[in-house]
Amino acid sequence: MADAARQLEAVSDTPRLDAELLMAHALGTTRDALLLGRLDDPTPDTFAALVARRLRHEPIAYITGTRAFWTIDLAVGPGVLIPRPDSETLIEAALAWFGSRAPARILDLGTGPGTLLLAALAEWPQAQGLGVDASETALGYARRNADTLGMADRAEFRLGNWATGIDGHFDLILANPPYIGTEEPLPPQVRDHEPAAALFAGIDGLDDYRRIVPALPALLAPGGAAMLEIGWTQADAVSSLGQEQGMSSSVYKDMGGRPRVVRLT
């Protein structure tokens, strides 16, 4: 692992962590179990090939096939946006908004592998949810994740274009739309591997907010809230889009102290 970590310094900001995760995957165990009791195991023959994939900038989550998010583990793979810790701010903001209350119906626009919807359903066991995505690949992962987590009876997934064709009212609407400008630079592990359709949204990164926000007033139930993830420079622009629809806004910061979520009510 030490040798692998030295190699991975060329492509990763967390080379030791990457090496540990790859070794745990090669051994068919967890990182915790590896560190607590299996450091004397022989190196599996498959480990070198996993390191070679990472050296080609392939994301760790695609190599191992899984990513932890909030309180759940999600299966992920090529064609699916990898869940980020910053997106957990959406769940934190929703918990802060509802307090002792609980949403009955949840909508996740751009659900990907079910990330936000399934994390929210894990928090509120009586809630039902709908996840919408334009990618059949992503929806396949979302349905499998719902099955694995025992939520298939509470989570519906549907192919769609944001809020188009959705009826009814929802207590909580979650969305992590593409918000990167088409000319913004990205690291190779993102640019060359993750789906562009889940990353880029026009020159200013706001194209999809312009589609989503006008639909929100008709979809929100009384007392409900929409939580939208944003790029850290986009709080004012997205808040203004909501205000144009007669909605009030509030901004939540991520663990790094950067604006990350706009709440619209």
We report the CATH number of the domain holding residue 218 as 3.40.50.150
Confidence category of residue 180, pLDDT binned at 50, 70, 90: very high
**Residue 263, pLDDT score:** 98
Look-up of token digits 């946006």: 81
Instruction: Answer whether residue 63 is part of any domain.
Output: no
**Residue 18, pLDDT score:** 98
Q: Cα-flanking dihedrals φ and ψ of residue 149, to 5°?
A: -85, 0
Instruction: Answer whether residue 61 is part of any domain.
Output: no
Instruction: Answer whether residue 32 is part of any domain.
Output: yes
Mean pLDDT, residues 97-111 taken together: 97
Confidence category of residue 52, pLDDT binned at 50, 70, 90: very high
Mean pLDDT, residues 22-27 taken together: 98
| Tally of CB atoms within 10 A around 59 | 21
**Residue 261, pLDDT score:** 98
**Residue 215, pLDDT score:** 98
Mean pLDDT, residues 23-41 taken together: 97
pTM of the model: 0.95
Mean pLDDT, residues 126-132 taken together: 98
50 and 76 in a single domain? The answer is: no
198 and 145 in a single domain? The answer is: yes
101 and 178 in a single domain? The answer is: yes
Please state, in angstroms and rounded to a whole number, the distance separating the CA atoms of residues 174 and 100. 19
Residue partners of 32: CB distance under 8 A and separation at least 6: none
Instruction: Answer whether residue 65 is part of any domain.
Output: no
134 and 251 in a single domain? The answer is: yes
Q: Which two tokens stand for residue 76?
A: 């992920």
Q: In which domain, by residue range, is 245 found?
A: 70-264
75 and 205 in a single domain? The answer is: yes
46 and 74 in a single domain? The answer is: no
**Residue 249, pLDDT score:** 98
The percentage of the chain sitting over the pLDDT mark of 70, rounded to a whole number, equals 100
Instruction: Answer whether residue 64 is part of any domain.
Output: no
The percentage of the chain sitting over the pLDDT mark of 90, rounded to a whole number, equals 100
**Residue 34, pLDDT score:** 98
